[in-house]
């Protein structure tokens, strides 16, 4: 260990950390005007573009969920209907903590009424959306729903219990199976039915016709093949 390690200042900070008092926390410079401060999205978007190379696609994915939570938390009681503009839909739940209100929901929401910026028109001086791809290689579309995770209690706060319960009921309903899955299940059922097995055995027996030798017996190789086919059936 080198001499002078750890430094006295670092050792002192570790042994005697400075912890803000309750009164100091309520008088922080950043909170003197309250938590619900306006966000200059023009500067924010420019900051992310210049410092982190984050364009519209990244802004939708990383910034809009935070703006959605901010809007939901500022909804006053009795005005929950205003949140219908966000077109929130619950997709699934992620994890269950000891407290029921600690669950997070995977949701989708419309980006059209979250931001004050024009996220529909391509900023031609900075971006080229023709080079961007959406899901499964589709062209990028900034109006499509955005996926995110939101705490359950935040959704209840912004949507109201009635709307939230309706969304829960909707996502809990069993979804209709796709045609391809139904066809595969039917084919699997048919192949396992007794009538299908009998049909395969009969077909295997018919295929042996004409392969008998001069003595009227089936050759050993054919009998082996037939035995394997009937065993697998």
User: Per residue in 152-209, pLDDT tens?
Assistant: 889 998 999 898 888 888 877 776 666 665 555 555 555 555 666 666 666 655 555 5
Both structure tokens of 72: 């939901």
Higher-pLDDT residue of 37 and 166 is 166
Higher-pLDDT residue of 75 and 189 is 75
Residue 47 has what pLDDT?
93
pLDDT band at 95 (very low <50, low <70, confident <90, very high): low
Higher-pLDDT residue of 213 and 112 is 112
Higher-pLDDT residue of 21 and 113 is 113
Give the residue from 58, 28, 26, 25 showing the smallest Cα distance to 44. Answer: 58
For residue 40, pLDDT beyond 80: yes
CA-angle at 59, arms to 47 and 121, nearest 5°? 100
Size of the chain, expressed as the number of residues it contains: 233
The three-class DSSP label of residue 89 is strand
Residue 195 has what pLDDT?
65
- Number of H-type helices and E-type strands within the chain: 10, 3
Q: What is the DSSP letter of 133?
A: B
The residues facing 94 across adjacent strands are: 104
In the chain the first and final C-alpha atoms are separated, in Å, by 74
Residue 233 has what pLDDT?
55
Residue 139 has what pLDDT?
84
Residue 178 has what pLDDT?
63
Residue 188 has what pLDDT?
57
Share of the chain above pLDDT 90, in %: 20
What is the residue extent of each domain of the chain? 37-172, 193-232
CA-angle at 42, arms to 36 and 44, nearest 5°? 65
Higher-pLDDT residue of 186 and 86 is 86
For residue 124, pLDDT beyond 70: yes
Query: How far is the C-alpha of 135 from the C-alpha of 90, rounded, in Å?
Result: 19
Strand-by-strand arrangement of the 104-109 sheet: 89-94, 104-109, 146-151
pLDDT mean over 121-130: 83
Residue 220 has what pLDDT?
55
Mean residue pLDDT across the chain? 77
Taking the complete model, does pTM exceed 0.85, yes or no?
no
Does residue 215 come out as left (phi exceeding 0), alpha (psi in the -120 to 50 range) or beta? alpha
Give the residue from 107, 119, 113 showing the smallest Cα distance to 59. Answer: 119
Residue 223 has what pLDDT?
54
For residue 99, pLDDT beyond 50: no
Q: Is 84:155 a contact under the CB 8 Å cutoff?
A: no
Q: Which letter, b or e, does each residue of 15-39 get, where b requires 16 or more Cβ atoms within 10 Å of its Cβ?
A: eeeeeeeeeeeeeeeeeeeeeeeee
Could you tell me the CA-to-CA distances from 14 to 20, 95, 102, 143, 222 in Å, in that order? 15, 35, 32, 50, 84
Both structure tokens of 135: 């899901």
Q: Is 143:120 a contact under the CB 8 Å cutoff?
A: yes
């Amino acid at each position: 260990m080198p001499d002078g390690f750890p430094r006295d200042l670092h050792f002192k900070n570790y042994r005697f950390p400075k912890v803000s008092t309750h009164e100091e926390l309520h008088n922080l410079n950043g909170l003197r005007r309250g938590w619900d401060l306006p966000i200059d999205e023009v500067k924010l978007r420019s900051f992310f573009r210049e410092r982190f190379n984050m364009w519209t696609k990244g802004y939708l994915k990383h910034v809009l969920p935070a703006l959605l939570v901010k809007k939901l938390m500022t909804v006053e009681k009795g005005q929950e209907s205003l949140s219908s503009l966000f077109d929130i839909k619950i997709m699934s739940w992620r994890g269950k903590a000891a407290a029921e209100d600690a669950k997070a929901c995977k949701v989708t929401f419309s980006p059209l009424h979250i931001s004050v910026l024009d996220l529909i028109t391509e900023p031609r001086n900075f971006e080229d959306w023709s080079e961007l791809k959406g899901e499964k290689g589709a062209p990028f579309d900034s109006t499509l729903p955005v996926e995110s995770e939101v705490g359950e209690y935040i959704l209840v706060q912004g949507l109201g219990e009635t709307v939230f319960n309706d969304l829960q009921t909707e996502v809990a309903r069993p979804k209709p199976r796709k045609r391809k899955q139904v066809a595969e299940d039917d084919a699997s059922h048919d192949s396992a039915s007794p009538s299908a097995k009998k049909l395969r055995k009969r077909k295997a027996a018919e295929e042996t016709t004409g392969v008998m030798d001069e003595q009227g017996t089936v050759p050993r190789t054919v009998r082996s093949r037939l035995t394997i086919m009937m065993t697998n059936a």
